[in-house]
Structure 1
């Protein structure tokens, strides 16, 4: 699968950090519960995301060859003051500048520890792009603000998620992943609002030897159709399947089966 350019990932991290900062400074109650991550408040979500970015920045800058504990990351948990939007915004802004600068300096091929079999700085640029893309959705949904994603980024996010599912199934003992083995059922994801050259359609097969996927338009056991951003959010369990912009054709139970189990990564 063709990846986006390294600079595109770096640009998107900067863009998504700016979007997350806009939520922080929008006047939304930082103690509000995040509907799509109900164990977190909005402030906890932002601190989690900023901490992840700082962790990656340290990994890449030091060319770490093994996992680095969170407690070794300076300012990992954010500013001491709680409920202070200005302090949280400043910390997040500094975080974004740090991680984007470090990733640009490293380029995509620096050798860095990674957990999914791709030990490079490029892996982390891609991973953080999609981590913050999805968590910005959590934040904007909490704030009731509009949300969109560039089509190439949304499509790559779906590719990456399916690659993670494959990796977990093959390399990490996981009960839910093992349940994806099956007699040839398939899920078709179909974005209805993109240019044909993007090929924003996916076939996800649940076979006897595990999950296989590819881009393309084929008949399947169930199809999830709608605008690409909506398909992305639904497949990441951020948008209910009964949302009016989505259409499900075929055996809805298979799609629900997948979404209930694809909760790792």
Structure 2
């Protein structure tokens, strides 16, 4: 497994912000519920995403060595105007420019606080890339718009998600984390499209010692097959397993169990 370059992450954040802005400009209903995040309207989703980017920008700009509270981040909650597409778009545009400029200025190795023990800006560039990649999918699904993501970004998003689950499970950071331990359970993710050189297949094992994973093609108790974008969205619980482009082979209950238990908490 190889990380994408730092510049690639910065470029992708900028691209995803522009794509999210384009979706808003298309006339999407800001008051509509986001099916994959049903506690939010589309406007609340955008404010959450922009706030996360602004929080990371503040962490990196100030070289913070401990967490920053939301009230220490200017405009973290978005513009004062509610239900105003123009104000929301202007805020999101400024947010994207600012966070990307700050990340580029800092470079990948600047020391800064993170919640995962990887104390550098490279962590945040990668984390925000995949945070907005998935939340743009939420927005697209809410607006009934098509969604695609570059293959290298999608594959890295699966890698990062597995690493986060490993971290949370190892630290027992959520009440459900120990439930992922156990003998003889394995999951295979298989992207059926894209560049064969990308090796977009994963094997996940739930062992007594914890969750382990690797890239590769191996037989497992259950397999999830389909186009890479669809596999990514299903693995993030953004796409139902019975979607026509997906195929589940073997112990479906195990995959459903994983999707329930493997969360940020």
2:25 match: 25
- What is the aligned-residue RMSD (CA, Å)? 0.8
2:36 match: 36
Q: Give the 3-state SS of the residue equivalent to 1:206 in structure 2.
A: strand
Cα drift, residue 208 of structure 1: 1.0
State how far apart, in whole Å, the 2-side matches of 1:139 and 1:159 are: 23
1:193 match: 193
Cα drift, residue 210 of structure 1: 1.1
Q: Which runs of 5+ in 2 are unaligned?
A: none
2:231 match: 231
CA offset digits 1:167-193 (Å, max 9, x no partner): 001124322111011112100000000
1:142 match: 142
2:263 matches 1:263: yes
Q: Give the 3-state SS of the residue equivalent to 1:179 in structure 2.
A: helix
Q: Is the 8 A contact 2:172 2:178 kept in 1?
A: no
User: Once superposed, which parts of structure 1, at least 4 consecutive aligned residues long, lie more than 6 Å away?
Assistant: none
1:168 match: 168
Q: Normalization by structure 2: what TM-score?
A: 0.99
Cα drift, residue 194 of structure 1: 1.6
The residue correspondences of 1:1-265 to structure 2 (distance < 5 A) are: 1-264=1-264
Q: Normalization by structure 1: what TM-score?
A: 0.99
Q: Is the 8 A contact 2:182 2:207 kept in 1?
A: yes
How many correspondences in the alignment? Answer: 265
Q: Which runs of 5+ in 1 are unaligned?
A: none
CA offset digits 1:116-147 (Å, max 9, x no partner): 11010000000000000000000010111110
State how far apart, in whole Å, the 2-side matches of 1:103 and 1:172 are: 31
Cα drift, residue 112 of structure 1: 0.5
